[in-house]
Amino acid sequence: MDIELDRGFEYETMALAVHQVRQIAETVAGSAARHCPGRPSGPLVQSIRTDPTDQGADVSIGTDHWSYMEYGTPPHVIEAGPRPEGARGALSWPGAEHPVGRVHHPGTPEYAMMRQALYEAQA
């Protein structure tokens, strides 16, 4: 019995696999966006992206605070930076009585957007 392999099958199989990985990446990105806290138009959700690669795609979140939202933070102190001499505290927010120099932040809960999205895609 003779078996003859079509040399093009390797490229077709690889192209199909790359296409499927890119579809999965899009699904993961969409799921991560749904698990993000805040507004759908907010910077965290808007920074989620998929970037094609030779083997498929990368999914990333591009804000500087994504890891605090993914993994949470323990309670911590936030201090205002250097201020001109005689200036009072520089930290303020809507509803604050006055600017302050130090805030005792209660911590941030863990949202695990990316991990939840990956677990869903795996299922």
**pLDDT, tens only, 55-111:** 999 999 999 999 999 999 999 999 887 766 666 667 888 888 888 888 999 999 999
DSSP state letters, 88-120: ---B--TT-SS-BSEEEE--B----HHHHHHHH
Average pLDDT in the 20-31 region? 95
pLDDT of 19 > 80? The answer is: yes
Token representation of residue 109: 């809960």
The region that residue 38 occupies, defined by phi over 0 for left and psi between -120 and 50 for alpha, beta otherwise, is left
Task: Give percent of the chain above pLDDT 70.
Answer: 94
Which tokens hold the place of 97?
A: 């009585």
Provide the greatest CA pair distance for the chain: 93
Neighbours of 21 (CB within 10 A): 15
Which carries the bigger pLDDT value, residue 30 or residue 2? Answer: 30
Q: Judge whether 105 and 77 are in contact, CB under 8 Å.
A: yes
pLDDT of residue 9: 79
